């Protein structure tokens, strides 16, 4: 969302503010509010919410703190519009704030769906039912919202604004990026692979094995593995402990967190991405690199031909790597197009955010029995 936020902030006709919470305010997850401040984006409030307990209840308690602490802040500020993006618990909170306080809302990335059964899916869809308007990436997402009973006049297909960063972000020398992440000497000599693996409930008991296997398979193929931290979902503690162990290898650099410019430039220099991050599904196609998605997370989502779905066993990951590095696959990547857009969606989004009559979308009297299809 960074390009959308930057465009809104720079527009003299718009007063734009961010409410910052969760992992952004946690030193354990990089204290990334400092990166927001470096971007010069104005912050309305900092709300400490993260309960870092690595339990199934911690995420829900974190969401409840965000809801309770934000009500009076939003009520006092009286915004004309609340914007939120994606499928995490904070978007559900944002949608509830808008619905109960009578403030129009705009939900980005609605209508997407994965077949992994993760709670993020129903959270995304529940948010869509509460949201006033929908800024979706592709026609398939529009169709899914229609099936949920949303009216066609509320849905705007603009492409994925997440791709705009590859167009507008200034290039950095690879040496600069490697220096910022304190990369091992081996990283300057070997091809780079980006590995990001997040925990999900159905795989908590094997996630550490999957991450270990992925690292081993990539190292066997001669890659230097650039290893990012998992998110805050239950199961992250064990994965973070494993990162400390894997970081002892000369062929592995654990970067934990990077700023947006550093991460984008690292992404642009790697030969492939592996793990289960949505970056492999949504963004890797723009860079025309292979994406090996390991395990259940992200399965069922629309993706480019660059994505290979693999089990977490070492033999599965090795087999996927053989395909990803084959001459046939490499040739296919040359003409690959990202189904999520061309990196010029933020302008369309901002134009709509400035001109739509959002007050007319606030009430949702539509009966799903008679929704547009």
Give the pLDDT score at 22: 92
In a shared domain, residues 13 and 41: yes
Which 3 state secondary structure label does DSSP give 139? helix
Is 373 a residue whose pLDDT tops 60? no
In a shared domain, residues 257 and 364: no
Cα–Cα dist 79/126, whole Å: 22
DSSP assignment of 171-207 equals: P--HHHHHHHTT--GGGGTS-EEEEE----GGGTTTH
* Token pair in block for residue 17: 């503010």
pLDDT-derived band at 8 (thresholds 50, 70, 90) equals very high
In a shared domain, residues 148 and 58: yes
Q: Are 236 and 230 in contact (CB under 8 A)?
A: yes
Per-residue model confidence as pLDDT tens digits over 109-123: 999 998 888 888 999
- Which own/partner pairs from 352-358 qualify as long-range (CB within 8 Å, at least 24 positions apart)? 352/135, 352/156, 352/158, 353/4, 353/8, 353/81, 353/83, 353/106, 354/11, 354/13, 354/14, 356/133, 358/80, 358/81, 358/104, 358/106, 358/132, 358/133
In a shared domain, residues 228 and 352: no
In a shared domain, residues 82 and 184: no
Mean pLDDT, residues 254-271 taken together: 92
Our count of domains for the chain comes to 2
Q: How far are the Cα atoms of 105, 131, 133 from residue 363, in angstroms, in the given order? A: 11, 10, 11
Pairing of strands 307-310, 252-256: unpaired
In a shared domain, residues 34 and 142: yes
Per-residue model confidence as pLDDT tens digits over 52-100: 887 889 889 999 999 999 999 999 999 999 999 999 899 999 999 999 9
* Token pair in block for residue 204: 């908590």
Domain hosting 129: range is 2-165+342-370
In a shared domain, residues 347 and 362: yes
In a shared domain, residues 152 and 40: yes
In sequence order, the β-bridge partners of residue 224 are 192
Is 127 a residue whose pLDDT tops 80? yes
Is 327 a residue whose pLDDT tops 90? yes
Give the pLDDT score at 372: 65
Which 3 state secondary structure label does DSSP give 155? strand
| Pure H helices in 17-173 | 33-38, 56-77, 89-101, 120-130, 139-147, 165-168
Per-residue model confidence as pLDDT tens digits over 173-210: 999 999 999 999 999 999 999 999 988 888 888 999 99
């Amino acid at each position: 969302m960074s390009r959308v936020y930057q465009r809104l902030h720079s527009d003299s006709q718009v007063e734009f503010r961010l409410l910052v919470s969760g992992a952004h305010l946690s030193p354990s997850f990089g204290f990334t509010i400092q990166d927001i401040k470096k971007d010069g984006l104005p912050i309305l409030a900092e709300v400490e919410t993260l309960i870092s307990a690595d339990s199934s209840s911690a995420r829900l308690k974190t969401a409840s703190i965000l809801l309770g602490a934000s009500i009076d802040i939003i009520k006092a500020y009286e915004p004309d519009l609340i914007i939120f993006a994606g499928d995490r618990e904070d978007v559900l909170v944002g949608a509830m704030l808008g619905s109960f306080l009578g403030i129009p809302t705009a939900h980005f990335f609605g209508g997407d769906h994965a077949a992994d059964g993760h709670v993020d899916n129903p959270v995304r869809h529940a948010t869509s039912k509460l949201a006033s308007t929908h800024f979706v990436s592709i026609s398939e997402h529009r169709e899914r919202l229609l099936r949920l009973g949303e009216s066609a006049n509320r849905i705007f297909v603009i492409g994925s604004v997440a791709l705009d960063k590859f167009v507008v972000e200034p290039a950095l020398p690879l040496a600069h990026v490697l220096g910022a992440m304190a990369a091992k000497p081996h990283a300057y000599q070997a091809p780079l692979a980006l590995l990001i693996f997040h925990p999900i409930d159905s795989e908590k008991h094997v996630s550490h094995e999957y991450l270990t296997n992925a690292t081993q398979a990539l190292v066997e193929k001669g890659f230097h593995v650039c290893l990012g931290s998992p998110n805050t979902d239950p199961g992250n503690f064990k994965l973070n402990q494993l990162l400390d162990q894997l970081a002892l290898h000369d062929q592995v650099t654990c970067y934990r967190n990077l700023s947006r410019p550093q991460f984008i430039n690292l992404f642009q220099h790697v030969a492939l991405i592996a793990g289960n991050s949505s970056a492999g599904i949504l963004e890797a196609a723009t860079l025309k690199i292979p994406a090996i998605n390991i395990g259940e997370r992200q399965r069922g989502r629309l993706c480019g031909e660059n994505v290979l779905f693999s089990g977490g066993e070492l033999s599965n990951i090795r087999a996927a790597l053989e395909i990803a590095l084959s001459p046939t696959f490499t040739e296919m990547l040359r003409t690959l197009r990202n189904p999520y857009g061309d990196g010029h969606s933020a302008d369309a989004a901002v134009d709509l955010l400035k001109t739509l009559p959002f007050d007319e979308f606030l009430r949702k009297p539509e009966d799903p029995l008679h929704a547009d299809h």
